[in-house]
Structure 1
Amino acid sequence: MASARAAHSASALPDGRVLLVGGFTQQENSAAGAELYDPITAAFIAAGPMGTPRHSHSATLLADGRVLVAGGYDARGNTLRSTELYDPASGSFGPAASMGLARADHEAVRLDDGRVLIVGGVGPGWTFLASAELYDPVRDRFEPTGAMDAARESHAALRLRDGRVLVVGGHLGRGAATQIHRSAEIYDSERGGFAPAGDMMLPRHKHDALLLSDGRVLVSGGSDARDSDGVYASAELYDPAGDRFSAIDASPLPRYKHQGTSWLLPDGRVLLAGGATRAELFDPRTGGFTRVGGAARLAGQFSASAPLPDGRVLITGGYGERQGPQRDAWIFQP
């Protein structure tokens, strides 16, 4: 990549390219711009300049092919209300409506009707947010839509088969006052509100969650309140039909800080690409994990990845325990 980056985003565009946005560079009080990866030429090129370079934001592909970039922190560590839209047709960023609240480390999920749910995160002054809002790309407008039972940062959220959104785990507070959530909640866009779901087997934050081809949800890794000293080598499954979590007997590698880096492959297996220096594959049919071969050692935490049109997966940046943000990128070949 042109810039080292971590806590950035990677969005697969309709034309097969991948948009990389933001992230912090060598220090967390810096923010990178944007670039594009072209799988045909296997090259990174500069994208149009952003209005505000940012990290710990969300980037959501809209139904019309544009990308909504929302919130995060700027280069001075300020939490942002601002959003911008990247248009692949023009190759440029443009301003969009501001969110109702400034937030970072939130989650964003595109709904079946094309709107985007923005949920949780942290606001100015380390205020932890239970609130949610909806972005309407047709009207370029945000509006509030209920609140969760619990404020959450470093949680995971994804759309289920029936269009509802599962929000799982996360934390509230900092330092010795940190509370890690076992709880999960369901957002129903028809009602415009949240309802409790079943509890996870373990409290988790800084984990990842992915919808499987059979409609269940894989929740992997994360940590307990000890953070880097309490990283989990475990995973569990959520069954929406029974509203129940269950443990997976097999033990994956310990991994955390890997939100958004798990991918469903064409054969139904799952690639776990972030949060550790080695990638793994999970097979829902056997419930087993296998390590991906090859000599490459990934950066690990706060990397970003995206699927390519031919089934490969691009993995970019991130940092490890003894290294800062990386410029390196890797390709996973199924």
Structure 2
Amino acid sequence: MKKIGLYIILASELTSCGQRLSHDSLTHEGVEIKADSTLGSVTYIGRMTTARSAHSATLLKNGTVLICGGFTGASLASAEVYNPELKTFKPVGQMRFARSGHSATLLPDGKVLIAGGYNGNYLSSTEVFDPEKETFSIGPLLNVPRSGHTATTLKGGEVLLAGGISTGWAFLQSAELYDVEKATFAPIGSMKVARESHTATLLKNGNVLITGGHEGRRPNIKIHPSAEIYSLNSKTFSVTGSMSLKRHKHDAVLLSNGMVLVTGGSDERDSRGVYNDTELYDPASSSFQSSAHMNFRRYKHYSTSILLSNGNVLITGGANKAELYRTRYAKFTPIPGDLELQMLFSCATLLSNGNVLITGGYDENQKISSGSWVFSSSQ
């Protein structure tokens, strides 16, 4: 699943993490930081057929990765498939609509639901990719046009779409459920506040934790420290504990112990207010607590935090260096290997072999990348 608020990348922005970093040691904000090659490394593997940011990259059941849409001066309709065995990218035709800031969700039957997004208009259209035929077909309409929403597969197979931005710069509180059997979307009520550039994380009990995000535009933007829970049983939203910081354009990932690691993001200053702070959400106490600091400030890195089989978390987006959150020690360690640029609105996808594919993104100079990398763990 992937969601991005595309309109954000159209503005001219300055960012905090734009340095080219060395392979074994690096300096960040005047402090030398050592990378640890015993934990793994990031390796450049080649170019996608098209440069992309704000795209989606979805692991298919056959082990390949479907890469769709995105932005490269205009929203894209093109799609391609990455083959991990051959390390090649192959075009697979065109979506029915160009889109960026959309979601792409693997369905139980192996197809991919692509929903919403932006292409000059906010989209209510959806389409379904068939991996066997390598074709896109029209899907059911959303109840509301959405871009920058979240899409979360629930334990019963339904897909929860929440928040985002819609026509007329309307920031959305609303949510809807995709019924896999009926292939229909149904509204299910509203979150407590409107949210875009938020996170949605499936918890072990089947509920969904939604954190942060914003509503409104600068200079009147409101960024939320609040969080809420979507209940699988009641299909309603309720308030839970608040984060220690207001965050948007951040990331969140479920850990093996059932807690949720929330990383980075920014405040109202946007690129001038990027965090390296992190915190942990404990479902048992419904509360957040501050955790270790990342080595690099990161934002615009949604869905680039990947839980590995050893329990560590790889974090790749929002900076041109990857790092590992080592759960056992509750600390972050840089990983050798440079990424091409700052990796804003890039994608990271866990592969069937345990490696992680990293694709696309852009930097503070609006340079959009076609590059791709693979993280391989040494443990």
Contact 1:160 1:215 in 2 (8 A): yes
Residue from 116, 132, 146 that aligns with 2:159 = 116
Match of 2:15 in 1: none
Say whether 1:67 aligns with 2:89.
no
User: How many Å apart are 1:298 and its aligned residue?
Assistant: 4.2
Residue from 267, 276, 292 that aligns with 2:310 = 267
Match of 2:78 in 1: 33
Task: Give every structure 1 segment of 4 or more consecutive aligned residues whose post-TM-superposition deviation is greater than 6 Å.
Answer: none
User: How many Å apart are 1:146 and its aligned residue?
Assistant: 1.3
Say whether 1:315 aligns with 2:358.
yes
Worse-superposed segment, 106-115 or 292-301: 292-301
Secondary structure of the 1:224 match is coil
Say whether 1:291 aligns with 2:338.
no
Q: Distance in 2 between matches of 1:215 and 1:54?
A: 34
Residue from 197, 203, 213 that aligns with 2:246 = 203
Q: Distance in 1 between matches of 2:75 and 2:268?
A: 27
Contact 2:276 2:293 in 1 (8 A): no
Contact 2:53 2:71 in 1 (8 A): yes
Match of 1:12 in 2: 59
Q: Distance in 2 between matches of 1:247 and 1:325?
A: 33
Secondary structure of the 2:336 match is coil
Contact 1:316 1:330 in 2 (8 A): yes
Q: Count the aligned residue pairs.
A: 330
Say whether 1:23 aligns with 2:66.
no
Q: Distance in 1 between matches of 2:362 and 2:176?
A: 31
Q: Quick one: structure 1 residues 5 and 78, their matched pair in 2 at CA, closer, same or farther if it must change by over 3 Å?
A: same
TM-score, normalising length from structure 1? 0.97
Partner amino acid, structure 1, of 2:81: L
Partner amino acid, structure 2, of 1:66: K
Within a 5 Å distance, the mapping from 1:123-138 to structure 2 comes to 123-138=166-181
Residue from 41, 46, 50 that aligns with 2:95 = 50
Match of 2:343 in 1: 300
Worse-superposed segment, 42-51 or 99-108: 42-51
Contact 2:340 2:371 in 1 (8 A): no
Worse-superposed segment, 317-326 or 193-202: 317-326
Say whether 1:2 aligns with 2:49.
yes
Secondary structure of the 1:228 match is helix
Structure 1 residues without counterparts, runs of 5 or longer: none
Say whether 1:213 aligns with 2:256.
yes
Partner amino acid, structure 2, of 1:36: V
Match of 2:211 in 1: 168
Q: Distance in 2 between matches of 1:276 and 1:215?
A: 27
Q: Which structure exhibits the higher relative contact order, with contacts defined as CA atoms closer than 8 Å and separated by 6 or more residues?
A: 2
Residue from 222, 245, 249 that aligns with 2:288 = 245
Partner amino acid, structure 1, of 2:69: G
Within a 5 Å distance, the mapping from 1:152-167 to structure 2 comes to 152-167=195-210
Deviations 1:66-88 (Å, cap 9, x if unpaired)? 111000002xx100000001111
Q: CA RMSD in A?
A: 1.0
Residue from 276, 285, 299 that aligns with 1:233 = 276
Q: Distance in 2 between matches of 1:145 and 1:30?
A: 30
Partner amino acid, structure 1, of 2:62: D
Within a 5 Å distance, the mapping from 1:69-108 to structure 2 comes to 69-74=114-119, 77-108=120-151
Q: Distance in 2 between matches of 1:48 and 1:160?
A: 35
Structure 2 residues without counterparts, runs of 5 or longer: 1-47
Contact 1:188 1:194 in 2 (8 A): yes
Secondary structure of the 2:94 match is coil
Q: Distance in 2 between matches of 1:252 and 1:234?
A: 9
Q: Percent identity?
A: 50
Match of 2:185 in 1: 142
Q: Distance in 1 between matches of 2:265 and 2:298?
A: 6
Deviations 1:1-37 (Å, cap 9, x if unpaired)? 0110000011011111000011001x2x332411000
Q: Distance in 2 between matches of 1:62 and 1:130?
A: 25
Partner amino acid, structure 2, of 1:176: P
User: How many Å apart are 1:106 and its aligned residue?
Assistant: 0.3
Secondary structure of the 2:272 match is helix
Secondary structure of the 1:293 match is strand
Contact 1:201 1:245 in 2 (8 A): yes
Worse-superposed segment, 243-252 or 81-90: 243-252
Q: Distance in 1 between matches of 2:295 and 2:142?
A: 38
User: How many Å apart are 1:323 and its aligned residue?
Assistant: 4.1
Q: Distance in 2 between matches of 1:234 and 1:69?
A: 32
TM-score, normalising length from structure 2? 0.85
